[in-house]
Amino acid sequence: MIVLGENRYGKSRVRVMKLDRDGEKHTVHEWNVEVWLKGDFAACFEDGDNSRILPTDTMKNTVYFLARSSSAGTPEQFATELVTYLLAENPQVDEAGASIATNPWTHLTTAGTEHATAFVQMGGATDTTTVMGRRGTAVKVASGFRNLAILKTAKSGFAGYIRDRLTTLKETHDRLLGTLASGEWKYTGEVADYATARARIFDAVLQTFALHDSLSVQQTLYAMGKAALEAEASISEIYLSMPNKHCNLVDLAPFGLDNPNRIFVPTDEPHGSIEATVRRAG
Name the residues annotated as catalytic.
Answer: 11, 56, 246
What is the Cα–Cα distance from 75 to 15, expressed in whole angstroms? Answer: 13
What is the Cα–Cα distance from 83 to 31, expressed in whole angstroms? Answer: 15
Tell me the three state secondary structure of residue 32. strand
What is the Cα–Cα distance from 124 to 14, expressed in whole angstroms? Answer: 20
What is the Cα–Cα distance from 34 to 65, expressed in whole angstroms? Answer: 15
Tell me the three state secondary structure of residue 226. helix
Tell me the three state secondary structure of residue 227. helix
The beta strand positions in the chain, using DSSP E, are 9-22, 25-39, 93-102, 106-110, 113-120, 126-134, 140-152, 177-187, 235-241, 246-249, 264-267, 275-279
Q: Could you tell me which of 141, 28, 127 has the C-alpha nearest to residue 77? A: 141
Contacts of 69 (CB under 8 A, 6+ apart): none
